[in-house]
Each structure stands twice: as C-alpha cells, then as structure tokens.
Amino acid sequence: MIWIWIAFIGFVLLMLALDLGVFHRRAHVVSIREAAIWSSVWIGLGLAFSVFVYFAYENKLLGLGTVPDPVDGLLNSGARATQKYLLGYVVEKSLSVDNIFVIAVIFDYFSVPRRYQHRVLFWGILGALVLRGLMIALGARLVAEFHWVLYLFAIFLILTALKMLFLESKPADPGRNMLVRLARRILPITDKLHGQRFVLRAGSEASRQGEVPGEAAEPDPVVDRARPGALLLTPLALALIVVETSDVIFAVDSIPAIFAITADPFLVFTSNVFAVLGLRSLYFALAGMVARFRYLKAALALVLLVVGVKMLLAGCLKLALGEHFNLYLLAVVLAILSAGITVSVLGERRDKESRGNR
C-alpha cells in the first residue's frame, strides 16, 4: 500500500512545483479572475479524484479497501469509499473557508503586500499539509486502537458548534502568537520588507536590496545594527509563522470532523489535502467578499453539529437509513451550506435596497 501513498504525495508535490515554479514564479497581485480559475482547477482535481477513489477501492488496488473502516466496521467498496471521500472533502473544504477571515487579519496586521501574499500562503499550506499528515496518522492510530475516542471527538465537535453558534469570538491578536514572541526573542526582525524573502543575512547583497527589485533598500536600523553574516527574519516570516499556527488550530476542529465520517487513513488524508490545496486561490477569490456571507459561520457550526451527532448515533443511523447513510449526510451538509450562502446573499441584497431607499 505504500506505493499508493508515494504516488499521491508525488502528484501533490508536482502540482505545487508547477504552481509556484511556473505559474507564480514572479511575485504579483493575484486577480479575482486568476484566483477563480485556480479555484476551479483545484476543486475540479478534488472532485475528479473521487473517480480514482471509486475504481481503486472497487478493485482493491494496492490493498485499498481490504481493511474494515474503524468508524463503521465495514470494508470500503468503491461506492462507499467515494461517498466518504466526497463527504469528507466537502466538510473539510467548508470548514477551511472560516480560515480565510483569520488569514485576512494576519496579512493586515503584518502589512503584507498583496503581491507577496501568495508566496506566504504557498509555504504556509505546504507546512500545514505536513502537520496535518502527522495529526491524521496519530488520529487514525488512536481510532483504530481505541474506538471510544470517536465519542470524545463527537462531544468536542458538538461543543465547538455550540460555541460558534452562541458565543461571539474575535480573531486572536497575531502579535500575541507564542511562536512569534519566541522568534522575536531569539532572532532580530527587520523593520522593512526585503522583497519576498523570509530570512535575510546582514551585510549580504540581498540586505541592500529593497522591496522592489533593482531598488536600494530603505534605511533599516535592525539590519544596520546587526553584525555581518547574522541571520534576520523579515515581517514576511512572522506572517508565515502565524498562518502556519492558525491552520494547526483550525485542524484541531476539522480533523475530528473527518474522523466522524471515516478513519481510513488514505481517505482522510486525500480529502484533507485537496481541501487545503485550494485554500490559497479560494482566499484571493473570496477575501473581499467573505465578510458579506454573514450567516456562513452559523452554517458551518450546524455542519459541525450534524457531523458530531452523526458520530454519536452512527449505529442507529446505519440501521435506519441503510448503508448509504453517508450519502444522505452529504446531501444534508450541502443543503446547510447552500442555505447559509443563500440567506447571506438575500440579506446583503435587502440591506442594499434599504440603504438605497433612504
């Protein structure tokens, strides 16, 4: 089975190399049109992968689907695996949208120019994939050996959903991030951006270049005081640290949600990867509009609530709805998200009309 993992990770690395090394080689402002195209590409790849999932599990390719899923105790056939993958993908994708609010706050706090935001998100999400992989491996092992962990996940999801519904939460202050404060104690931080660099060596040619290629850097007291050869972090590195840690925090909510659907490591990991890979382009496509979806957070909370209840009542639901109950759950999740977006759009339109009538 290891070969299927190697092939998938190789495919992901190839797509990321094409993304940064070819299509986004030079720093530039990502337009809404470009972001929409890339969002469509990543979503299309995520959905197309479900076809591979079906045939791979139906034909037991390289051992896939030969071990009972710890969540329901059933072998994953092609249809069953596809349902779980799609449901996991939709849940993870919808929960990742909430991260867009936080990313916007981070970029605003560190004054990251729009032309460098894609680079920060690229490396942030690459690191997030590694960290999520470790969390998924640990979670899969726990679920396989201690089935009762699923009930802890379920209670955690339900409590998180209730908190999102009834308690007002504000984005954390990026400057109070523990890793950022630690970095500021250990290494000097430049006052100015030096192009798209995360790390700078004092006295080097790069330290004398400004934010715009070919121009000299503005006076930077931190760089001037540093001894030649010393390493310095730039504000871009601090933004990357906070983006990385914020994704880990969100993963604490989202990864238990996928384990409510399946504990098959391959399905959990691939649905997570495709959901996260499209987050960069989704950010640029929705960053200016996401605040208008005022009821989306409530819809996401309801999704977590439904998934948590499903985890608690999986046995009863399977008896009542049959083996395709994951398909029904997918329909419910899509309906909740669609309702949240529709009500938000209608509310925004009503507000515009009321302002126009004044």
Q: What is the pLDDT of residues 159-211, one digit of tens each?
A: 888 887 887 666 666 767 777 788 778 878 887 777 788 888 776 665 556 55
Read off the pTM: 0.79
By CB atoms closer than 10 A (0-12, 13-18, 19+), residue 341 is middle
Q: Please check whether residue 244 lies inside any domain of the structure.
A: no
- Examine the domain organization and report whether 224 and 265 are in the same domain: no
- Examine the domain organization and report whether 164 and 311 are in the same domain: yes
Kindly report, residue by residue over 106-154, the tens digit of the pLDDT: 888 888 888 888 888 888 878 888 888 888 888 888 877 877 787 887 8
Q: Please check whether residue 183 lies inside any domain of the structure.
A: no
Q: Please check whether residue 280 lies inside any domain of the structure.
A: yes
Parallel, antiparallel, or unpaired for β 231-233 and 199-201? Answer: antiparallel
Q: Please check whether residue 144 lies inside any domain of the structure.
A: yes
pLDDT confidence of residue 82: 94
- Examine the domain organization and report whether 194 and 95 are in the same domain: no
The two structure tokens encoding residue 184: 């500021």
Spatial distance between the Cα atoms of 297 and 340, rounded to a whole number of angstroms = 8
pLDDT confidence of residue 205: 60
**pLDDT at position 215 over 60:** no
Specify the DSSP class assigned to residue 147. Answer: T
Specify the DSSP class assigned to residue 67. Answer: S
In which band, very low, low, confident or very high, does the pLDDT at 311 lie, cut at 50, 70 and 90? confident
Q: What is the domain extent for residue 76?
A: 2-168+261-356
pLDDT confidence of residue 52: 95
Q: Please check whether residue 38 lies inside any domain of the structure.
A: yes
Which residues neighbour 335 within 8 Å (Cβ) at sequence distance 6 or greater?
none
Q: How far apart are the first and last CA of the chain?
A: 65
- Examine the domain organization and report whether 160 and 29 are in the same domain: yes
- Examine the domain organization and report whether 342 and 268 are in the same domain: yes
Q: Where are any strands of DSSP class E within the chain?
A: 199-201, 231-233
Spatial distance between the Cα atoms of 41 and 24, rounded to a whole number of angstroms = 15
| Phi/psi of residue 137, nearest 5 degrees | -60, -45
- 358 vs 267, more confident: 267
pLDDT confidence of residue 358: 60
In which band, very low, low, confident or very high, does the pLDDT at 57 lie, cut at 50, 70 and 90? very high
Mean pLDDT to the nearest integer, 4-8: 88
Residue bearing tokens 């960290």? 131
Q: Please check whether residue 116 lies inside any domain of the structure.
A: yes
- Examine the domain organization and report whether 89 and 216 are in the same domain: no
Spatial distance between the Cα atoms of 161 and 253, rounded to a whole number of angstroms = 10
CA 44 to chain CA mean position, Å? 17
- Examine the domain organization and report whether 329 and 225 are in the same domain: no
Q: Are 296 and 80 in contact (CB under 8 A)?
A: no
- Examine the domain organization and report whether 102 and 224 are in the same domain: no
In which band, very low, low, confident or very high, does the pLDDT at 288 lie, cut at 50, 70 and 90? low
Q: Please check whether residue 20 lies inside any domain of the structure.
A: yes
Q: Please check whether residue 173 lies inside any domain of the structure.
A: no
Return the SS3 of 195: coil
Give the total number of structural domains in the chain: 2
In which band, very low, low, confident or very high, does the pLDDT at 16 lie, cut at 50, 70 and 90? confident
pLDDT confidence of residue 48: 93
Return the SS3 of 219: coil
- Examine the domain organization and report whether 64 and 104 are in the same domain: yes
- Examine the domain organization and report whether 220 and 274 are in the same domain: no
- 75 vs 288, more confident: 75
Kindly report, residue by residue over 256-265, the tens digit of the pLDDT: 888 888 889 8
Mean pLDDT to the nearest integer, 20-36: 70
Helix (H) or strand (E) holding 164: helix 149-166
- Examine the domain organization and report whether 38 and 143 are in the same domain: yes
- Examine the domain organization and report whether 21 and 161 are in the same domain: yes
Specify the DSSP class assigned to residue 167. Answer: S
Which residues neighbour 40 within 8 Å (Cβ) at sequence distance 6 or greater?
none
